[in-house]
Amino acid sequence: METKVSVIIPVYNAERYLAECIESLMKQSLQECEFLFINDGSTDQSVSVIENYARQDRRIKLVRQDNQGVSAARNTGLRAASGEYVGFVDADDYIEPDMMAVLYKAAKQYASDVVISNFETEIEGHWVQTRFPFLTNRLLDREFVRREILPYFLRSDQLNSVWNKLYRNELIQDCGAAFPDKVALGEDGIFNMRVFCHASSAVYLDYCGYHYREVDGSATRDIIGKDYFQRALEVYLTDVPEMKAIPLGREEIRKLKAARLIHSVMSYVYLYFQAAQKVSFKARFAYVSRMIANPHVQEALAFYADEKAGKLGRYDRWLLEAIRGRSAISLYCITSYSKLRSAANK
C-alpha cells in the first residue's frame, strides 16, 4: 500500500499523554499513513507504550536513538519518511480523526507544496484557536507565498509550528530542508522558512484538527530555566539566509522583527507575573526588570510604537507605556488587573 502521509512524532519521556496521542493517530480516517515514533533516549515507559500499540497497528513504527533533542529526532524522521506528504505531531498532543484526510485531500486537490491549517492551544484550562490572515481554501501561488507568508514568519511566532501543516516530501528532499541541530531558538521557524522559500504554492484551510497541550516544561512553567526571552532576542538579532527571498526592504523587515520581539515581550511579561507561580516572585520581578531594560527591547519598541500608533487597545497601550518607562511594578499591576477582569468575566 502506497504511503500517502508520513507522520513524525518525536518522543522524549512523554509517557503521561502518549497513549492519547497514539490513539488519535490510529483513528485517522486516512488509512494510507505511517506513524514514525522517534524515541529520543526516553528514560520512562514511553518505548513500552509505543511497542504495545505497534502490536495492534502495523502503521506504527518505532525508531530509537540516543537523546539528541527534538530537532535531531525530527530529522531522523524525515530520513525515514516514505510518504508523499509529511506531517508532524508532538507526543503530548492529539489530533482529530479526519485531520490527515482533510489536509491530504486539499494537498491533492490543489497540487500544493504545503497545506496550512488552524490549531487549538490549551491555555489555563481553556482552548483557544489560532487562525491566520490568509486567503482560505484556494491555491496561494509563489508570489503570495513570498509577499504574505514568508514575511509573516518575521512578524509573528504563531505560524512557526510544523504540526499544523502538511509538506510535500519531495520538496523537503529537493531543497534539503532540515531542523537546525542544537539551535536554541525557533528551529521550527527556520525549517518553515527553508521550505517556504522553495515552495511554489500553499493552501490555507480554515479547519482545526490539531490540539496543542501545554505540559510541564512548557513556557509558562519553565520560562526562566529555558530563557525564552533570550531566544526571542536572538531571533530579533539574527538574519537567516532565507530572508533574501522576502521581497521587502531592510527597513520593512526590521519593523516586522521589531513587532515580533515586542509581542513576545508583552506575552512574557504576563507569563512571568501571572503564570510562572513555581518561580519566586523576587526572581520573576528581577527577570522582567532586566528584560524591559534591554536596549534592544527599547529600540524595537520605538519601531513598534510608530507602526501601531492608534491601533492598540487600552491594555496593550498600558503595557507599552510601562515597558517604555522600564517599570516592572506597573507591569505587575496591569497584568494582575487583567487577570482579575478575565476571572470576573468567566
| pLDDT at residue 223 in the model | 57
| pLDDT at residue 218 in the model | 45
Mean pLDDT of 124-148: 91
CA atoms of 255 and 154, how far apart (whole Å): 9
| pLDDT at residue 219 in the model | 42
Q: Report the share of the chain in percent with pLDDT over 70.
A: 90
| pLDDT at residue 128 in the model | 87
CA atoms of 115 and 93, how far apart (whole Å): 19
Mean pLDDT of 115-125: 86
Q: Which residue has the higher pLDDT, 118 or 221?
A: 118
The whole model's pTM is what?
0.85
- Residue 93: DSSP 8-state: -
- Residues 168-224 have pLDDT tens digits of 999 999 999 999 876 655 788 889 999 999 999 999 999 999 999 876 444 444 555
Q: Hey, how many other C-beta atoms are within 10 angstroms of the C-beta on 138?
A: 11
| pLDDT at residue 198 in the model | 94
Checking if the pLDDT of 125 tops 50, the result is yes
The lowest-confidence range among 33-37, 60-64, 214-218, 259-263 is: 214-218
Q: Which residue has the higher pLDDT, 132 or 157?
A: 132
Mean pLDDT of 217-234: 66
| Range from 91-105, 175-189, 227-241 that averages highest in pLDDT | 91-105
CA distances from 320 to 99, 151, 300, 317 (A): 39, 23, 11, 5
Mean pLDDT of 97-101: 98
CA atoms of 18 and 111, how far apart (whole Å): 33
Mean pLDDT of 4-11: 98
**304, containing H or E segment:** helix 295-308
Q: Please report, as a single letter, which amino acid is at residue 217.
A: G
The mean pLDDT of the chain is 89
Sequential DSSP letters for 218-269: STTTSHHHHTHHHHHHHHHH---GGGGGS-S-HHHHHHHHHHHHHHHHHHHH
CA atoms of 228 and 221, how far apart (whole Å): 11
Checking if the pLDDT of 150 tops 80, the result is yes
| pLDDT at residue 307 in the model | 62
Report helix angle 46-54 to 15-26, nearest 10: 20
- Residues 249-308 have pLDDT tens digits of 888 888 888 988 998 899 889 888 876 567 788 988 999 999 999 999 999 998 777 666
- Residues 253-269 have pLDDT tens digits of 888 889 889 988 998 89
